[in-house]
Structure 1
Amino acid sequence: MIRPTKVNPQLETAKILGIWHKPPQKTKQPTRHSLIGAISAHSTARYKQPPKALHSKALMYLALGKMSFLLSGTRFGKSHFAKIYYDLLPIKDKGVLLVINPLGSLGNNQVLEIQKEVHLAINFNKLTFNPHEPINIANGK
């Protein structure tokens, strides 16, 4: 009987970020400190400023495969947070990233910004949300 191998999300994320090197005899997993460092370096390279400590910590927990919820105020960088997390996902496993935004006009601006980079972003409101939209999202349309 062939058993499926277990996937370690921390190890997979470390491989993607390039902070994991396979030693000759042992498998070394990255520490939380090294994950935060890699996330900080990626964010600094992309946005020309280091991430807030709360961003790094929340992204580290997501990279480790733990459920996370980030509640933050206006101008805290929630859209940057979402993009950095999306970058952490392996290309073959790109999932759905849901950003809930209570302000309609701000949501429109973020959708336009995300569409430039990710290609699929939808601003749900009562005019655009219908029973067919979840099916389109599941099919990558």
Structure 2
Amino acid sequence: MIDVSRSTALPAEALWPVMSAVRDWGSWLPTVDSVTPTEPDRPDEVGASYVVVQPGLPKATWTVTDWRPGTSFTWESRGPGVRTTGTHELVPGPDGASIRLGITWSGPLAGLVRAVYGRRGLAYVTREAEALEATARERAAR
């Protein structure tokens, strides 16, 4: 399991519009080349799926399994013998919010996938938390 938490002075209200606009991730997130909805007219909600292309990783289809506007979303990608779950959560605090991002692998090949992609996954999730804060800060300053 990978779990990265980053505290920021920004409120969740400033972070959510950036984090939840998954279709735009390729424009600001250095770990994502593109995110393409499988059903372009479908809103971002439970059941929506996206094809995600990331440098150094196989192309994957992610499906939203939990969507809590303003707070969090979870999505899953399935491959032979493994299910990857990505969590994206904003935890409000007295002086801003915490960005919590995570990846878990389950299934018969989870150990192998974790061994092959775990280090890269941790680096990517850490960079994603940093980029989320920086992008939200830049947009809030406009």
Q: What's the TM-score bracket when you normalise by the shorter of the two chains?
A: 0.3 to 0.5
- Asked which structure has the greater RCO (Cα within 8 Å, sep 6+), the reply is 2
**Structure with greater helix share of residues:** 1
TM-score of the two chains, using structure 1 as the length reference: 0.34
